[in-house]
Amino acid sequence: MADFPPPYLDPLNQALADQFASQPPIETVPLEQLREEFNELQNHKTIPGVTRTSFTVPFEDGVKAYVFKANGAKGDLPVIFYFHGGGWITCNVHTHDSICRDLALKTGFAVVFVEYTLAPEARYPTQQEQCYATVKWVSEHGHSKGLSQDTFAVAGDSAGGQLAIATTILCSTRKPNIKISYQVLLSPVTDTVTSDRDTPSEFRFFNGPFLTVPFMREAIDLYIPSPKDRTSELATPQHISAAHAKLQPPTLIVNSSVDPLRDDGFLYGQILQRNGIDCVITEQKGQTHDSAVIEPVRNGATPRATVRLVAASLKEALGAVSNVSKKRVLNGDAEEVEEKESKTRKRRKTRKSY
């Protein structure tokens, strides 16, 4: 590999990079140990003001989903479906508790976190089918959980970004269609075809800091063992057809500057923009992979601003949809009242004629 000058990292991200540089590369750590270490890395003080409940989606052996709502929230709330990262092989509701609480507090919406089955315990396409099944169940039964059944956004970080895109493709192409009004992708994986066709960011940050290309390749091998399966647009979003790209929702893509996946986000965003999708592509300077989620760095100035941007974008998008839905309901009520009043006037007129 070529020698590069050290990239700029803000103090919190530099400390994280130094911590990982002093440890064995993450791709060499046994899977069970890696899961335990990520759980420890993501230990945190619980953000107050949010209630977390759970339910099980009756799909195959059942899919556990968690609902985050700000305390005191009432009515059927717009829903942000959150799909977590961790290379499809690690992480859970504990590791992503803070980002879900933040979004629930800052938007006033419900966040539904899908705890899909990790690889290699389950393989592609099980995870995206579980994510889609959860969205579909909420679209049919959400009222029973205080959730809107038609005002949805999706969000995902890293591997969860790939699952978010796959879910939006399934929602827009399967019948009946399920409308996803907005999409947020944080440091997303958009190419699972492991070959020598490295992007500049993969080449530059092959060995990290923090996330490494060898780790991603091992994770992909566990998630999608068949190279043939990786060519599907559902596995590699960069292969999305033009027809399906045009069906993608407005999207916000947040990339970290010091991240082997940086160019994955850029390249997918360019595809969306060229197909007429309202897509914002940003790069957060001085940040390692997924800094808005990783506990040792997420309270820095840039990750905090990222979360505010994400929340504001979601609030604007789903708030507009929710207001339209309410207006339709109110208009429907007004029409029903007018119809009843009209019938009453006719009955009175008929009585007078006698």
Instruction: Choose the catalytic residue: 201, 289, 290, 291.
Output: 289
Instruction: Choose the catalytic residue: 98, 139, 148, 158.
Output: 158
Q: How far apart are CA 45 and CA 293, in angstroms?
A: 14
Instruction: Tell me whether residue 259 is one of the annotated catalytic residues.
Output: yes
Q: How far apart are CA 139 and CA 152, in angstroms?
A: 9
Runs of H (alpha helix) within the chain: 11-21, 31-41, 97-107, 126-141, 159-173, 200-204, 213-223, 242-245, 262-274, 301-353
- Contact by Cβ (8 Å): 68, 51: yes
Instruction: Tell me whether residue 61 is one of the annotated catalytic residues.
Output: no
Instruction: Choose the catalytic residue: 97, 102, 259, 263.
Output: 259
Instruction: Tell me whether residue 96 is one of the annotated catalytic residues.
Output: no
Find the length of the chain.
Answer: 354
* DSSP labels, 24-88: --GGGS-HHHHHHHHHHHT--PPPSSEEEEEEEE-STT-EEEEEEEETT--SSEEEEEEE--STT
Task: Record the tokens describing residue 111, joined without a space.
Answer: 């966040």
Q: Which residues are catalytic?
A: 158, 259, 289
